[in-house]
Amino acid sequence: MAAGGFCKLPTGSVVVALNLPRPTAHGTGCVRVLVHAQNRARALTRLRNLGMRAVYLRGNAAPPTPDEITAVLHHPDGLIWRTAPDNGVVPGPELAQELWHPIRALLRRPAATP
């Protein structure tokens, strides 16, 4: 089960944030995915339509921060991701933060090596 949460906006739409596992070359990592949609069900449907079939939102343990909400609202697709911190602590200003990526960069398959 993925940790995550949601935030209802004054316009009636929601921003859903989920921490999802992502296999990497160094083991297993996590990514933070943000989705902007009309309601929670549509947000999860958008992820399921991209092939993330086992995505569920139970509770509101890790809602999106104001900075995350701003980032997803300003993205034309309304669906972005970046690597989640390992310990679940948001990095301070002294640590460089990774920029947000469009979802197609996460779904892109690595090129096969001959």
Q: What does the alpha-carbon distance between residue 34 and residue 37 come to, in Å, rounded to a whole number?
A: 10
Query: Could you give the number of structural domains in the chain?
Result: 1
- What is the pLDDT confidence band of residue 80, given thresholds at 50, 70 and 90? very high
33: in domain: yes
Q: What is the 3-state secondary structure (H, E, C) of 35-82?
A: EEECCHHHHHHHHHHCCCCCCCCCCCCCCCCHHHHHHHHCCCCCEEEE
90: in domain: no
36: in domain: yes
Range of the domain at 28: 6-85+99-104
Residue 1, pLDDT above cutoff 90: no
Q: What is the mean pLDDT of residues 70-90?
A: 80
Q: What does the alpha-carbon distance between residue 73 and residue 18 come to, in Å, rounded to a whole number?
A: 16
112: in domain: no
65: in domain: yes
More confident residue, 87 or 24: 24
More confident residue, 114 or 57: 57
111: in domain: no
Query: Tell me: the pLDDT tens digits for 9-38?
Result: 999 999 999 988 876 656 677 888 999 999
31: in domain: yes
For 4, the enclosing helix (H) or strand (E) is: strand 3-8
- What is the pLDDT confidence band of residue 96, given thresholds at 50, 70 and 90? low
